Amino acid sequence: MYHKKLKNIRKSFTLIEVIVVMGVMGLIIGGLLVSLRQIIEGEVLLKKMQLVEEESRFILDVFANDGEYSDLDPAYKSEGKSDIFSYVIRFVLTEKKSEIIEGSNVSSEFSSYLASSPDENYYLRRTITNNRTEPAKITSVTLNNIPLATKPVFRVKTLESPNGTENFLITISLIFRVETKNQPIFIPIETSVVSRTFEI
């Protein structure tokens, strides 16, 4: 009987052994939770980066279409070969130069790009103004959900072909701000488009 009890006592765990085992298990579970948290944060960051890619591609496509198939508003045309830097730009949406009436914008349609800032972040807006209707019809849309860290910058440079045709190299520079737990990540995006030579 005594030997049986002694055998049972030897089979059981001491309090110290239980505490050590629970401590090791706690470390393992804690490590797994930290790893899982890092994986989740990585997934969230990856989704935000994918959104930046999608939004920047959309913005650049729309901007390139306006820049290539429209005339640049005279206010943003550079004199000579110097660059013009601006936080706003406007295009005259026409298919032919003959559609632009000198000294009048009555039959013109404009596309403007400018940044709105309801908070510390910036959002690029594209505004279409149609002066062919009375009153003028204005349509505005925000092009990004991921905010910009600064105002977008537009740069215009005059290009002159050998035959004297004048075109413009228009560059848009954006810096997206992606929020993370530790600190924001800034993603610069830039593209250039050359305005086409219009039919007369």
Q: Domain residue spans in the chain?
A: 40-194
Q: What angle do CA 28, 34, 38 make, to 5 degrees?
A: 145
Phi, psi dihedrals of residue 173, rounded to the nearest 5° = -120, 125
The number of residues making up the chain comes to 200
Q: Give the SS3 label for residue 193.
A: strand
pLDDT value of residue 11? 63
Cis peptide before 188 (omega within 30 of 0): no
Tell me which residue of 92, 61, 101, 55 sits closest to 168, measured CA to CA.
92
Over residues 90-100, mean pLDDT: 64
Neighbours of 174 (CB within 10 A): 26
pTM value? 0.70
pLDDT value of residue 173? 93
Angstrom CA distances, 118 to 115, 131, 190, stand at 10, 28, 24
Per-residue confidence at 29, pLDDT binned at 50, 70, 90? confident
Per-residue model confidence as pLDDT tens digits over 105-162: 444 678 888 887 767 788 999 988 887 767 878 888 888 888 898 889 999 888 877 7
Per-residue confidence at 43, pLDDT binned at 50, 70, 90? confident
Q: How far apart are CA 142 and CA 116, in angstroms?
A: 9
DSSP bridge pairs for 190: 173
* pLDDT exceeds cutoff 80 at 1: no
Phi, psi dihedrals of residue 133, rounded to the nearest 5° = -105, 160
Q: How far apart are CA 77 and CA 67, in angstroms?
A: 13
Q: How far apart are CA 22 and CA 28, in angstroms?
A: 10
Q: How far apart are CA 154 and CA 126, in angstroms?
A: 14
